[in-house]
Amino acid sequence: MKLNLRMTGKAIGSSAKAKVAKMVSEQLIKYVTNIRKVKVHIDDVPTKLHGTLTQCSIEVLLPGLPSILVKAKGKSLAQAISRAVSNSETVLTQKLC
């Protein structure tokens, strides 16, 4: 399983990349044989009510099936990533089982 991480607006350090990679790989380890590539894209999204939120988009590329795209927002980077990963795990469970 390959992991592609992009973040716009800010520079991301190697420790943050390692944390994101660990978070994603731990959650999706059940489906590692069915996943070709995981693309993680992180953006800051301005909102009227909460100021600036972090949005995490996860695209899971599956061999022989359409890819899965999940987006989630959170107040912090970790919250947005954990929400997106748990949502993508739910979608993978529905699609593969």
For the stretch 41-69, pLDDT in tens is 999 999 998 889 999 999 999 998 899 99
pTM to 2 decimal places: 0.88
CA angle 71–43–21, rounded 5-degree value: 75
Domains of the chain: 2-96 (3.30.160.100)
Query: Which strand (E) or helix (H) includes residue 4?
Result: strand 2-7
Separation CA 93–CA 62 (nearest Å): 13
What was the pLDDT predicted at 75? 93
Cα dist. 19→11, 30, 50, 73 in Å? Answer: 15, 19, 25, 18
H/E element, 36: none
